[in-house]
Amino acid sequence: MKAAHLKPPATERLIFWSVAFILLSQMGWWISLQIRESRNLQNARIATMRAGRAEAWQMDSAQILRIVFQRDTGTTSRPGAVEARVPQFPPLPVRKAAIESRFPYVAVVPDPVEPDDPILLDQSGYLTLRVEILGAMERERTLALWRAAGEAAVMVLAVLLGMSYIYRKLNSEMELMLRQRNFIASVTHELKTPIASLRVWIETLFARELGPERKARIQMLMDGDLLRLTQLVGNLLDVARADAGSLDLQFERTELAPWLREVADGMDHRLGTGSLGLDLQLGIDIYAGIDRRALGQVIENLLSNAHKYAPEPRSTLVTLDSDGEKAIITVTDRGNGISPRELPRIFQRFYRVGDEMTRQVPGTGLGLFLCWEIVTLHHGEIKVSSPGRGFGSTFTIRIPLSPR
């Protein structure tokens, strides 16, 4: 039975990256526009200042070249003649103070700063634009550009983050929907197989005369099918109770080593004695308050996965230890392993390991989710580690120790 292939649609990725490219292009255009306009504005301000520098030169020259006219009163040989006096050059500090008071951005310097700096009429200095004012204008322009670039970057980042969030949520919802569809198909398959098997065995029992050995064999197979159905229905009911917050546990102080040995040996017997390749390394005198049935279900689920996902001959290590505060149970197998990309999602509801959700291994994707719920109700934690695909995996359960 083939399941849906979970792969993000290429169209969605194309739209996302196209919009991202357009936004980045718009941001680049906006920044280039700001650079151009700010440069034009600064050039206009500098041109205005240069015009003011020329006006300052004219003002200073007019003060120097002012001609004082004097008319003859009859004392000269040329009645009515006008005589011009020689210009008087005021002291340079006085002229400098007058220029800089009226034109604060103009400075009088002994040497030219720019090639077009005008020289004073008496060649005592040059008029130039103040370097500190030009520097302040450039810093102001740079700051404005950085501010504009920052605003554009924040806007683009906000849009991209919003699109990314929406994209991931939609993809997550689509993935969950496909998993649910996969779950329904899986549960249908898991129910139909043992029911069909039971139907065949019942027809066989009533249709022909069988010997005691044959009947015993059919009874064992029917018991296995009924157990499979019971476990599936039990898992579904437990998950429903966990969702509703009504998964009630009965805690009792238990020595973990004998309990864990009993659960592991029972599961090994059910799967086929010796088929797990069990190696139990259990520390003694370790007590914890647990629900024996529920936590046993967690261990059984981990051992069942170790059996389903590992090739023969299997080797499964179960250890029990403590760190003084918590009991530590580990289940290590040499099975198919889990890729690093899948590790964070392994305890999600309906999740199945693999690039595609397949039916090659029976399962519903609820077992590890239920394990996580039960361990959490024990105020503990369950984690998984794996070197990668093909190198097995280790599940670690930590639950608080019971006080002595």
Residues of the chain with CATH 3.30.565.10: 252-400
d(CA 334, CA 156): 48
d(CA 374, CA 298): 7
| Pairing, β 278-282 against β 106-109 | unpaired
Name the residue among 350, 349, 343, 341 with its Cα closest to residue 396. Answer: 343
Instruction: Give whole-number Cα distances, 108 to 66, 120, 136, 154, 361, in Å.
Output: 21, 9, 19, 45, 91
SS3 (DSSP) at 206: helix
Per-residue model confidence as pLDDT tens digits over 167-223: 777 777 776 676 666 666 666 666 777 788 888 888 888 887 788 888 888 888 888
Per-residue model confidence as pLDDT tens digits over 222-275: 887 787 777 777 777 776 777 666 677 889 999 999 999 999 998 888 888 888
Per-residue model confidence as pLDDT tens digits over 91-118: 888 888 888 888 888 888 888 888 888 8
Token pair 């006096």 is at which residue? 85
Q: What contacts 138, CB < 8 A, 6 or more positions away?
A: 42
Query: Residue 357 pLDDT > 60, yes or no?
Result: no
Asked whether the bond before 90 is cis by omega within 30 degrees of 0, the reply is no
d(CA 324, CA 321): 9
SS3 (DSSP) at 169: helix
Strand runs labelled E in 311-380: 316-322, 326-333
CATH class of 252-400: alpha beta
Task: Count CB-CB contacts under 10 A for residue 136.
Answer: 11
Task: Count CB-CB contacts under 10 A for residue 399.
Answer: 21
pLDDT of res. 253? 93
